[in-house]
Amino acid sequence: MPQNPGKPPVGQGTRQRGRRFAIDAENKETAMLRPLIIAAATLTALPLAAQDAEDGSAGPKDTRDATYLQSVDDTNVVNANGEKIGEIDEILIDADGNPAAFVIDMGGLLDLGDEDVAVPLEALQWNGKEYVSKMTEEQLQKLQPWDE
């Protein structure tokens, strides 16, 4: 039987075309089912995600004891003799977001006539109830005033 170049033998092309149509029909069915499968998977996962959020397993867990945490705002700053020289007004951070300095509110009465100075973290030491300055009151007063 003579072969025609570029054309499949008689009967063979028909089978291949029929098979291709069958594959295309399967792909269409799969394509139509895909959104249903995704929706079912999403609906199944949502209650699990909500459960994780409720029991706290969705993110990092805070393992610290609540007594560990306290605000330093308005915490006294004393000198080496235990005499009050000011209060912590705020904590300043550096460009990376790390604590870098304390702002101490010094002098004044009811925020009138007071002066704020930025002090490096290393200049203060925590004694369990207040900060003790390693700098004298005179040294603190010579620091550049902090003005937001």
CA atoms of 20 and 97, how far apart (whole Å): 61
Give the model's confidence band at 25: pLDDT under 50 very low, under 70 low, under 90 confident, else very high. Answer: low
Give the model's confidence band at 120: pLDDT under 50 very low, under 70 low, under 90 confident, else very high. Answer: very high
- Which amino acid does the sequence have at 61? K
- Indicate the average pLDDT of the chain: 76
Give the model's confidence band at 38: pLDDT under 50 very low, under 70 low, under 90 confident, else very high. Answer: confident
Which tens digits make up the pLDDT trace of 95-114? Answer: 999 999 999 998 766 556 67
Does 146 score more than 70 pLDDT? yes
**Whole-model pTM above 0.85?**
no
Give the model's confidence band at 121: pLDDT under 50 very low, under 70 low, under 90 confident, else very high. Answer: very high
CA atoms of 97 and 87, how far apart (whole Å): 23
Please state which architecture CATH assigns to domain 70-141.
Roll (2.30)
Dmax over CA atoms of the chain, in Å, equals: 115
E-strand ranges in the chain read 76-78, 84-93, 99-106, 115-120, 124-126, 131-133
Out of 17-26, 60-69, 70-79, 123-132, pick the least confident. Answer: 17-26
